[in-house]
Amino acid sequence: MTKLNDLHDNPGARKSRVRVGRGIGSGVGKTGGRGQKGQKSRSGVSIKGFEGGQMPLHMRLPKRGFNNIFRKDYAEVNLGTLQAAVDSGKLSGTGVIDAQVLLDAGVITHDRDGVRLLGKGVLTAALNLKLAGASVAAKAAVEAAGGSLELPAPKPEPLSRDEQKAARAVAREAKAAALKAAK
């Protein structure tokens, strides 16, 4: 039985820090573990990528690609994953299944910008799904199993230049008529 006055760490559990540059007897004196002289032995070195004044490699290579910061990041679920969750009892086949239900059941870990259904695997249960997106194959498989899939309405197509011009003309005429009626 250990007593309060006998409590101690295991041997090697606490290691004291090495004080470098404190004499040759310490084993890390003089150069302090930095090797010999030169730029890398001094502080404030930014030598990575510097090629002696020559244009560095990362600047000589062409830029490529584009990173869209507005891109949607969907949590993806396959048909087989849904069927496995129904078979194991995590999901019930009744009621509307949306992102929150999938999150509570542990089918997904984050709902991100919504859940997108993909067509990998086989779905036999008739499920009523309300998701942010689905592939064509997944939509066909859900409907073939006797279920339904509700997706958000697609965004309307932007107006062409001629349509924008016509809309502005109509707005100008309406404004002029309102001013005339006010007089």
**Ordered per-residue pLDDT tens for the chain, 183 residues:** 779 999 999 999 999 999 999 999 999 999 999 988 888 888 877 777 788 889 989 899 999 999 999 999 999 999 999 999 999 999 888 889 999 999 999 999 998 899 999 999 999 999 999 999 999 999 999 999 999 999 998 888 998 999 999 999 999 999 999 999 987
Is residue 171 a part of any domain in this protein? no
Domain presence at residue 109: yes
Over residues 104-134, the pLDDT tens digits come to: 999 999 988 999 999 999 999 999 999 999 9
**42 in any annotated domain:** no
Q: How many helices (H) and strands (E) does the chain have?
A: 5, 6
Its domain, for residue 80, covers: 75-150
pLDDT value of residue 120: 94
Residue 56, in any domain of the structure? no
Asked, for residue 84, whether it belongs to a domain, the answer is: yes
Helix or strand run (H / E) with residue 141: helix 136-144
For the domain that residue 143 is a member of, what is the CATH number? 3.100.10.10
Q: How far is CA 94 from CA 25, 65, 86, 119, 127, in A?
A: 77, 45, 10, 21, 7
Question: Based on the structure, what is the number of domains in the chain?
Answer: 1
What is the pTM for the complete model shown? 0.56
